[in-house]
Amino acid sequence: MKGTQKHVIIAGGGVAGMEAAGALAEMGYRVTLVEKGQDPGGHLLQWHALFPDSRPAEEVKSYLRKRIGNHNITVITGTAVEKIKHHPGGTVTVNLSGSKEEKADAVIVATGFDLFDARRKEEYGYGIYDNVITAPELETMFNGGRVTKADGSVPSRIGMIHCVGSRDEKVNNNHCSKVCCVTAVKQAIELRKMMPACEVFCFYMDMRMYGPYYEELYRESQEVHNVNFIRGKVSEASVNINNRLVIKVEDTLAGRPLKMELDIMVLMVGMEMAEAGTKLAVASGFRLGINRFLEAGDHHYGNNLSGVSGVFYAGTCTAPMNITDTISHARAAVAETVRYLDGR
């Protein structure tokens, strides 16, 4: 590095932010990683195992932890980035919560996503019925090594409800969250492995197995693990006298309505633009797309550009992505940042 060390602030300490911080620090840049939660790691922290190979999430977590262990990185937690402003002359100022202002040469926005609040699909009864849980909550149960109903009993039939808050005009989300289909398949297999006596049903609109080995996993789930797939959107859930969930769904392949009793219903909640990220974008004047995620400068070859000089985007603040794509996207953001800093 010539002259003084250049400084990059990264807003958001999830997968994208951590990877970008690590890559920049490796190249000798001074990095401040700002995370609003208590620990960096983002949504990954809740995860037990990852698709498509069920590797322990801990492996990726420890990789990322090591990545930000570089002495060039300062991690600030419990703090949110509230506003980013580029000044003529190249300085970018960043307002942090608690009225602190930091100066940097460039900023990477990696504010990520929020999980869809399942209570907004009230017909599924999340928060109303005991045994309606979300995919991350199931993951937490996996972490604990036991999947039980709220009363502690062992379930004999579990339903996985796809597309909760995704591809749903009624909640103003037209986008596909991409990772829920394969997550459902992964979790279904894990459930079947853990409790061979428990039936598992997936209720889907389309199975979007877009990534490498996803399709294979989907096939394996049916051929090896006997996971049942029913094409149809669940319309409503209720409980019967035995406190068992009853769902109504149309089996669109068989062309008939269906009623089914379940012990646990797992809602595959989708991704939405993070609320903190939206606030930051509104305050800083970043463009939001019709899906409410950050709109990058160019959809094909400028996917990390913000349109504001010195500010770059990384990860799921631009669109839903899996971990693989998030890490690639973060590295691309680093490449754009370095090109910008070298060009000045």
Partner 1 sequence: MNSDLFITPFNLGLYFILIYSVVRSTVWFMNLSRSDKLRLQRGFFGRPFMDSLREIFMESLLHRKIFKKNPLLGYMHMSLAFGWFLLIVFGTIEADFFGEKHLNPPSHAIFFRWFNPEHGAEGFARIYNVWMDLLLAFILSGLLLAVIKRFTPRMMGMKKTTKHTWTDRIALISLWLIFPSRLLAESFTCGAHGSGSFLTGNLGASLASFLPAAEIAPYFWWLYSLALGTFFFLLPVSRYFHIPVELLLIFMRNSGITTGDRHSSYTEVQTHACSSCGVCISVCQMSYAAGIHDIQSAYFIKGLRNDRDIAAITANCLMCGRCEEVCPVGIELGPMRLIERRQGEREDGKLRLAGKYAVTRIRSSIEKIPTQSFSYLAEEETEKADILFFAGCMTHLTPSVIVAMKKIMESAGVKYRFMDEQGGVCCGRPLMLAGRDREARELINHNSGIIWKSGAKILVTSCPICYKVFRESYYLEATVMHHSEFINLLIEEGSLRLGYLHRKVVYHDPCELGRGSGIYEEPRAVISYVAELQQASQERSMSLCCGGSLGNLTLSSGKRALIAADAARTLTMDSPDELITACPLCKKTFMQATKTKVSDIAELVAAALPKPLDKPVKRRTTRTTLNATGNG
Closest CA to 36 of 10, 73, 60, 65: 10
243 binds partner 1 (CB under 8 A): no
State which of positions 153-172 bind partner 1 (CB under 8 A): 169-172
In whole angstroms, the minimum distance from the beta carbon of 167 to partner 1 comes to 12
256 binds partner 1 (CB under 8 A): no
Q: Could you tell me if 235 and 248 are in contact, meaning their C-beta atoms sit under 8 angstroms apart?
A: yes
Residue number, 131 or 337, with CB nearest to partner 1: 131
261 binds partner 1 (CB under 8 A): no
Residue number, 50 or 237, with CB nearest to partner 1: 237
Backbone angles phi, psi at 253, to 5 degrees: -80, -40
Q: Which two tokens stand for residue 80?
A: 């949110």
Compute the distance between CA of residue 253 and CA of residue 251 in angstroms, rounded to an integer.
6
Compute the distance between CA of residue 320 and CA of residue 18 in angstroms, rounded to an integer.
17
| Interface stretch with partner 1, choices 9-17, 66-74, 235-243, 264-272 (CB under 8 A) | 235-243
- What is the contact mask toward partner 1 in residues 98 to 137, using x (rule: CB under 8 A)? ----------------------x-xx-x--xx--------
In whole angstroms, the minimum distance from the beta carbon of 147 to partner 1 comes to 20
Longest dimension (CA), the chain: 74
Which of 236, 285, 287, 298 binds partner 1 (CB under 8 A)? It is 236
| Residue indicated by tokens 């797992």 | 266
In whole angstroms, the minimum distance from the beta carbon of 256 to partner 1 comes to 12
Q: What ranges in the chain are assigned the alpha helix state H?
A: 15-26, 57-67, 135-144, 180-194, 214-223, 275-284, 323-343
Closest CA to 281 of 292, 270, 291: 292
Which of 259, 300, 301, 342 binds partner 1 (CB under 8 A)? It is 259
Residue number, 194 or 282, with CB nearest to partner 1: 282
Distinct helix (H) and strand (E) counts, the chain:
7, 20
Which of 237, 271, 274, 280 binds partner 1 (CB under 8 A)? It is 237
Return the CA Rg of the chain: 22
Which residues of the chain form contacts with partner 1 (CB under 8 A)?
120, 122-123, 125, 128-129, 169-172, 235-238, 240, 246, 248, 259
